Amino acid sequence: MTGSPGGPDAAAVCLDVGSYWTKAVLVQPDGTPAGFAEHPTTPDVLEGVDAAVAAAAASVGRHAGGPAPEVLACSSAGGPLRLAVVGAERLTATEAAHRVCRSAGARVVGVHTGPLAEDGIRELTGQQPGVVLLLGGADGDDPEVLLHNAGRLAGVRGRWPVLLAVPDAARDDALELLRSGGRTVTACPNVTPRPGELVPGPAREAVAEIYARHALGGPGDSGRFGVMARTRTPVAVAGGAAVLARATGAGVLVVDVGSATTDVHSAVPPGAPRPGGVRPDAARSDGARSEDGATVMTVEGDLGVRDAAGSVLVEAQTEGLVDPVEADLLAPAVGALEAASRGAAPAVPADRGAAAEDRRLAAIAAVVALRRHLRHTGRIEEAAPGGMPGWIAPGDPHDPGAGPTGPAGEPGNAGAAAGGSARVAGARPVPEAGGGVPGPRRGGDIGLVVLTGGVFRQRDPAGLAAVAETVRRDPVLLAALAQVDVRVDSESVLAPAGLLAAHGREEAARALLAERLPR
Is 80 exceeded by the pLDDT of residue 223?
no
Strand-pair partners of 83: 108, 131
Which of 119-133, 159-173, 369-383 is the least confident region?
Answer: 369-383
pLDDT at 416: 32
Q: How far apart are CA 259 and CA 308, in angstroms?
A: 7
- Cβ neighbours of residue 343 under 8 Å, at least 6 residues apart? none
pLDDT band for position 426 (cuts 50, 70, 90): very low
The side-by-side arrangement of strands in the sheet containing 231-232 is: 33-40, 21-27, 12-17, 70-75, 231-232
Q: How far apart are CA 256 and CA 495, in angstroms?
A: 9
CATH says 81-214 is which class?
alpha beta
For residue 317, CA distances in Å to 96, 131, 290, 304 come to: 20, 28, 39, 15
Q: What is the DSSP string of 216-244?
A: T-TT-SSHHHHHH--EEHHHHHHHHHHHH
* Mean local confidence (pLDDT), 277-293: 41
| Among 415, 369, 368, residue whose Cα is nearest residue 388 | 415
Q: How far apart are CA 263 and CA 407, in angstroms?
A: 21
Q: How far apart are CA 33 and CA 27, in angstroms?
A: 4
pLDDT band for position 518 (cuts 50, 70, 90): low
* Fold entry, domain 12-77+221-229: Nucleotidyltransferase; domain 5 (3.30.420)
pLDDT at 4: 52
User: CB of 364 within 8 A of CB of 321?
Assistant: yes
Helix, coil or strand: residue 420:
coil
* Mean local confidence (pLDDT), 339-356: 80
pLDDT digits (tens, 9 = 90+) for 310-336: 999 999 999 999 999 999 999 999 998
Where does CATH 3.30.420.40 sit in the chain? 12-77+221-229
Full-model pTM: 0.83
| Among 243, 235, 498, 458, residue whose Cα is nearest residue 362 | 458
pLDDT at 60: 63
128-153 per-residue burial string, b: 16 or more CB within 10 A, e: under 16: ebbbbbbbbbbeebebebbbebbbbb
Mean pLDDT for all residues in the chain: 82
* Mean local confidence (pLDDT), 348-356: 86
Where does CATH 3.40.50.360 sit in the chain? 81-214
Sort strands 251-257 and 446-452 into parallel, antiparallel or unpaired.
parallel
Q: How far apart are CA 337 and CA 294, in angstroms?
A: 36
Residue 128: CA count within 13 A, CB half-sphere: 2
Q: How far apart are CA 278 and CA 135, in angstroms?
A: 28
pLDDT at 424: 38
Helix axis angle for 144-154 and 168-180, nearest 10°, is 20
Select the more confidently predicted residue: 295 or 179: 179
At 58, the amino acid letter reads A
pLDDT at 383: 41
The number of angstroms, rounded, from the C-alpha of 453 to the middle of its chain's C-alpha atoms is 12
Which of 180-194, 439-453, 462-476 is the least confident region?
Answer: 439-453
